[in-house]
Amino acid sequence: MQLLSDGPREGVRVPAIAALVSLDFNIVSRDVELTPASERLLIDRFHLDASARVRATIVGGFGTRQAADSAPVRRLLTDAFGDSDYRVRHAAMSGAKKVDLETAVSFLVKELMDPNRTLRAQAASVLATLGPAASTRLSEIEQILQRETDPQVRQLLQAAVAATRR
């Protein structure tokens, strides 16, 4: 726990996060079942850590874990949507379906206008999985598609528009 909270380098704290999570591995279910204390520790670390890599690691873990769906995790993901670092926002997209869908769609549409093409591509990809939930923003997504110059992002946006119309 000392390395997680006081590690001088992110190269120490990131493996410490993985070690903490591995302590909650359930051999019977063959899955990680975070205790409330571990969840709280990781969420606190997210809010305290200056390293975007550490914050993205924490958010990505909560975003991709199906079982990680508590109210504090949903607040963490929503907070991560507003992070100043693109890596944290990218990681937060993995948990978009866990938060209020209107909030998620607003965040994703905003990311479609980010200068970072990786964020735009990820946002378009996640929007496509939300389908009709993004229909209230369809005209805005179509306008963004018209302005998009990156071929891959355009293709993903076209898929998002098609999925939204279903």
Encode pLDDT of 27-57 as tens digits.
Answer: 776 776 778 888 899 999 999 999 999 999 9
| Residue 132 neighbours by CB distance under 10 Å | 11
- pLDDT of res. 12: 81
Q: pTM (2 decimals)?
A: 0.86
What is the pLDDT averaged over residues 76-88?
Answer: 96
Rg (CA), the chain: 17
Average pLDDT score, the chain: 89
Residue 166 has pLDDT above 90, yes or no: no
Q: Could you give the CA distance from residue 148 to residue 90 in angstroms, rounded to a whole number? A: 19
Contacts of 28 (CB under 8 A, 6+ apart): none
Residue 129 has pLDDT above 50, yes or no: yes
Residue 10 has pLDDT above 50, yes or no: yes
- DSSP character for 31? E
Domains, the chain, with CATH or none: 1-99 (1.25.10.10), 101-166 (1.25.10)
Placement of tokens 């302005």 in the chain: 147
Q: Could you give the CA distance from residue 76 to residue 70 in angstroms, rounded to a whole number? A: 10
Please check whether residue 3 is in contact with residue 45, taking contact to mean a CB–CB distance below 8 angstroms.
no
Encode pLDDT of 133-151 as tens digits.
Answer: 999 999 999 999 999 999 9
